[in-house]
């Protein structure tokens, strides 16, 4: 986990007049130009105002705290904290950097870093076209890198959240998936939903197989349509990857499981290590305590968030990471241990 987080420690900024990295500090109306610019990166609303003392949390295209004589709490895209799934699982991996006009001018991945930046700091260079950014990445030393933020939220018209994956050219074949959203303003707790709801969506990601010792890893991109069900606080995701498995993920309280069936490949390169031929169901019971971090880690991690107005769920995003090392805790010692690792991100709407 630590190896990958240090490799992907990036701080990416673009020069922009009056730009700053503060949170929720934009003032004035958001112009059409700013909205168009942000839309090239993400479909999420550029500004959200929440009326003080009002649970309706209406969306308003302004960052002003006073609108039509009413006081609001203001949120902008810099308030969205993104989770990232890869070899590790980071719930606060990166944030957008937004200027006083409400426009995205950079991405700060410093939240996920383990090592400080060099004394002279990273180079902040102008954002390129659309969803492209440039900066530095730590790959056994600080080197220039280009990042592309690939949003999938626009395909579902998500407004309060986003999901997708990022590409960093210095890390070939690396495709970490992410989710993020207006948690403080629009997230709805699962235990606040009393009836069963169903959402339809899309899932993207990859599976990595390391079966021939160190440096033998192979990656397989994944994408499929998805069905998400929320019932009495429990989540269920169903997806069929036509180039891999059909999966059913279920989250019931503290118990999490993933059932793999209908293996669609003729080779065993990406077959789960614990699958002896008829599929397998894996759960989050395989754990290990890390005394250095003072945390308990496990082979199955997830992060699912629901969003909407007035307690009514309208959309959701989520990450699921599963590492299968044949019933053992995955310790990255691939000389003695095989591993198949699934990292997927998804979005869904009602």
Query: Can you say whether the dihedral through the CA atoms of 114, 115, 121, 122 is positive or negative?
Result: negative
Q: 275 by DSSP, 3-state: which?
A: coil
Do the strands 339-349 and 312-324 form a parallel or antiparallel pair, or are they unpaired?
A: antiparallel
What mean pLDDT is predicted for residues 37-61?
Answer: 74
Give residue 67's pLDDT band: very low, low, confident or very high (50, 70, 90): low
Q: How far is CA 253 from CA 131, 174, 232, 233, 330, in A?
A: 37, 32, 10, 8, 24
- Decide: residue 15, CB within 10 A, 0-12 exposed, 13-18 middle, 19+ buried: exposed
Give the per-residue pLDDT at 51. 75
Q: What is the pLDDT of residue 115?
A: 52
User: pLDDT band for position 127 (50/70/90)?
Assistant: low
Q: What is the pLDDT of residue 14?
A: 25
Decide which of 341 and 132 is more confident: 341
Over residues 42-59, mean pLDDT: 73
pLDDT at residue 216, as a whole number: 86
**Cα–Cα separations (whole angstroms), residue 112 to 148, 288, 291, 297:** 17, 21, 20, 17
Nearest CA among 172, 171, 20 for reference residue 103: 20
pTM for the model stands at: 0.85
3 state SS of 84? strand
- The pLDDT value given to residue 296: 86
pLDDT at 336 over 70: yes
Residue 276 has pLDDT above 90, yes or no: yes
Higher pLDDT, 35 or 137: 35
Task: Tell me the pLDDT of the chain averaged across its residues.
Answer: 81
Q: Label residue 169 by pLDDT band (50, 70, 90).
A: confident
Average pLDDT over residues 260-278: 96
Res 236: pLDDT: 98
Task: Determine the 3-state secondary structure of 79 from DSSP.
Answer: helix
Q: What is the pLDDT of residues 187-216, one digit of tens each?
A: 999 988 989 999 999 999 999 999 988 888
Say if residue 253's pLDDT is above 80.
yes
Q: Does the pLDDT at position 275 exceed 90? A: yes
**Residue 61 burial class via C-beta count within 10 angstroms: exposed 0-12, middle 13-18, buried 19 and up:** middle
The alpha-carbon radius of gyration of the chain (Å, integer) is: 21
**Under 8 Å between Cβ of 305 and 230:** no
Confidence of residue 137 (pLDDT cuts 50, 70, 90): confident
Summarize the confidence of residues 112-137 as an average pLDDT: 57
pLDDT above 60 for 20 = no
Ordered domains of the chain (ranges, CATH): 1-188 (no CATH), 190-350 (2.40.160)
Mean pLDDT of 137-141: 72
Q: Which of 247, 238, 334 lies closest to 282 in space, CA to CA?
A: 247
Percent of the chain topping pLDDT 90: 49
């Amino acid at each position: 986990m630590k190896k990958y987080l240090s490799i992907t420690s990036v701080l990416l900024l673009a020069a922009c007049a009056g730009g700053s990295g503060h949170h929720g500090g934009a003032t004035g109306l958001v112009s059409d130009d700013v909205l168009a610019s942000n839309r090239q990166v993400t479909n999420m609303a550029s500004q959200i105002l929440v009326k003080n003392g009002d649970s309706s949390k209406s969306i308003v295209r302004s960052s002003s705290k006073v609108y039509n004589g009413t006081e609001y709490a203001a949120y902008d895209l810099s308030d969205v904290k993104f989770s990232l799934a890869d070899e590790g699982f980071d719930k606060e991996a990166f944030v957008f950097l937004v200027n006083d006009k409400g426009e995205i001018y950079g991405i700060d991945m410093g939240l996920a870093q383990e090592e400080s930046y060099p004394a002279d700091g990273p180079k902040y260079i102008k954002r390129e076209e659309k969803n492209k950014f440039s900066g530095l990445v730590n790959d056994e030393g600080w080197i220039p890198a280009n990042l592309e933020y690939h949003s999938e939220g626009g395909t579902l018209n998500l407004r309060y959240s986003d999901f997708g994956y990022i590409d960093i050219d210095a890390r070939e074949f690396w495709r970490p998936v992410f989710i993020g959203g207006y948690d403080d303003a629009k997230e709805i707790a699962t235990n606040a939903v009393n009836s069963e709801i169903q959402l339809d969506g899309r899932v993207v990601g990859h599976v990595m197989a390391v079966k021939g010792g160190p440096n033998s890893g192979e990656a397989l991109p994944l994408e499929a349509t998805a069905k998400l069900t929320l019932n009495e606080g429990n989540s269920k995701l169903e997806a069929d990857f036509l180039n891999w498995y059909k999966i059913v993920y279920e989250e019931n309280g503290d118990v999490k499981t993933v059932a793999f069936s209908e293996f669609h490949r003729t080779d065993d390169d990406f077959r789960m290590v614990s699958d002896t031929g008829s599929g397998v169901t894996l759960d989050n019971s395989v754990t290990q305590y890390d005394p250095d971090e003072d945390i308990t880690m496990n082979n199955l991690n997830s992060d699912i968030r629901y969003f909407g107005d007035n307690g009514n769920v309208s959309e959701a995003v989520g990450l699921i990471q599963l590492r299968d090392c044949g019933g053992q805790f995955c310790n990255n010692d691939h000389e003695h241990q095989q591993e198949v690792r699934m990292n997927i991100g998804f979005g869904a709407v009602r």
